[in-house]
Amino acid sequence: MGSAPALGRGRSLLTDTYGRTARDLRVSLTDRCNLRCTYCMPEEGVEWTPTDQTLTVDEFNRLIRIAVEMLGIRQVRFTGGEPLLHRGLEQIIAATKKLTTDEEAAPRTAITTNGLGLDRRVQRLKDAGLDRVNISLDSIDKERYARLTRRDRLPGVLKGIAAAIEHGLHPVKVNAVIMRGINEGDVIPLTEFALVHGFQLRFIEQMPLGPGGVWTRNGMVTAEQIIDMLSQRFALTPANDNRGSAPAALWNVTDRSDQTLTGRIGIIASVSQPFCGNCDRTRLTSDGCIRSCLFSTTETPLREMMRTGATDTELAQAWQQAMFFKPAGHGIDDPSFLQPARGMSQIGG
Ligand code: SAM
Ligand code: SF4
């Protein structure tokens, strides 16, 4: 087995054995959530990480500083669980924005949120330095939304999306997971809604990361099937053939019967057309573990190291080592594929 390159003076990178370099840090601020989306969390019986095992604001800030100022991270996205449930979110974003990347700029900051309560907080988040927001919305039908998320809270999410657009957090992106027999009927209405309101809708293939048994290979709605559904109503042309590390294939869409209804949507085919070869992500969980991949079955815990006096250099080295052995791909198609022990809400999507 090889080992990660030693940290020299100045900045080192989070490079792996396949030559990929992580530039995008996903921080899961909490594993708690105010929704219970069926593809993500069980209805009940979730065991939350105890508070004493969750990183403090200072610990998050220290690890983010190490990632940006020692390890080449250029973008930080806060997620969860639900990041808006974390009271220190503004403080952490503000501290992140004070850092300087290897491009001599402040890191780009973003959140992935279910949008609940965003309308009341968006100005403060913007003032803290938030650049962009992705909001999850799988249905614009009130009852379907309530069934899918197990909470009747669609109006709150719509207020959050409107507030993000009003406050100029452009481009506002909205993520939708389509599940067979549940919300396929939302593909066209969601797209229409996105075109009318001017946000970028992105369909994401459901991944085997939720409660056991919810994802099945045959049950999954594929990117190709979503394109077929969209084609019934819209003319689609590819918009980003050369997309680098961006996960979404972009499509220009125009309503066939109303040429003025036009815009761009994204399709993230994480399962059927994996983009692992270009992945530039590294992940930090709310209890202080580094994961090189959503689907990793191993983690590198940094919390106890931090609490027992590790130096910044030691933490950076452990982070490098964790990323060095990032697997080539998620291997969902491999017969030996194992779903990770932690779900999406604990890892941070
Ligand atoms: N609570 C926030 C939200 O819902 O946006 C942030 C965390 S959530 C885990 C992040 C993203 O992961 C959401 O867009 C959600 O739809 C997506 N997600 C959760 N479970 C998923 C799964 N099994 N497959 C694909 N996407 C999933
Ligand atoms: Fe909560 Fe987001 Fe998971 Fe839904 S997808 S249960 S909003 S963490």
Q: List pLDDT tens digits, range 209-225.
A: 888 778 888 888 999 99
- Backbone phi and psi for residue 172, each to the nearest 5 degrees, phi listed first: -70, 125
Q: For helices 118-128 and 154-166, what crossing angle results, to 10°?
A: 30
- Backbone phi and psi for residue 18, each to the nearest 5 degrees, phi listed first: -95, 5
CA distance 64 to 76: 8
Ligand 1 pocket test: pick from 26, 32, 34, 37 the residue with the most ligand atoms within 8 Å of its Cβ.
37
Structure tokens at 185: 């009927």
Residue type, 201: L
Q: How far is CA 187 from the centre of its chain?
A: 21
What mean pLDDT comes out for the span 338-346?
Answer: 80
CA distance 95 to 29: 14
Computed over every residue of the chain, the mean pLDDT equals 93
pLDDT of residue 5: 62
Is 107's pLDDT higher than 80?
yes
pLDDT of residue 237: 95
Is 1's pLDDT higher than 60?
no
Do the beta carbons of residue 135 and residue 172 sit within 8 Å?
A: yes
Q: For helices 142-149 and 154-166, what crossing angle results, to 10°?
A: 100
Residues enclosing ligand 1, CB less than 6 A?
33, 39-40, 79-80, 82, 112-114, 136, 175, 177, 204, 206-207, 209-210, 344-345, 349
What mean pLDDT comes out for the span 323-339?
Answer: 83
If you take atom 4 of ligand 1, which residue's CA is the nearest one? 114
Closest by alpha carbon to 30, among 114, 95, 86? Answer: 86
What mean pLDDT comes out for the span 138-156?
Answer: 97
What mean pLDDT comes out for the span 46-57?
Answer: 95
Beta carbons within 10 angstroms of residue 333's beta carbon: 11
Ligand 1 centre distance from Cα of residue 26 (Å): 13
What are the tens digits of pLDDT across the range 212-271?
A: 778 888 888 999 999 999 999 999 999 976 667 778 899 999 999 999 999 999 999 989
pLDDT of residue 2: 58
Ligand 1 centre distance from Cα of residue 292 (Å): 18
Is 10's pLDDT higher than 60?
no
Identify whether 171 is preceded by a cis peptide bond (ω within 30 of 0). Answer: yes
Q: Which atom of ligand 2 is nearest to the CA of 81?
A: 8
CA distance 41 to 35: 9
CA distance 347 to 349: 7
Is 336's pLDDT higher than 80?
no
Ligand 1 centre distance from Cα of residue 175 (Å): 8
Compare 7 and 155 and report the one with higher pLDDT.
155
What mean pLDDT comes out for the span 104-121?
Answer: 98
Is 303's pLDDT higher than 70?
yes
| Residue whose tokens read 């403060």 | 124
What mean pLDDT comes out for the span 113-123?
Answer: 98
Ligand 1 centre distance from Cα of residue 135 (Å): 10
pLDDT of residue 343: 78
Ligand 2 pocket test: pick from 345, 346, 347 the residue with the most ligand atoms within 8 Å of its Cβ.
345
β pairing state of 281-284 and 24-28: parallel
Compare 241 and 140 and report the one with higher pLDDT.
140
What are the tens digits of pLDDT across the range 176-206?
A: 999 999 999 999 999 999 999 999 999 999 9
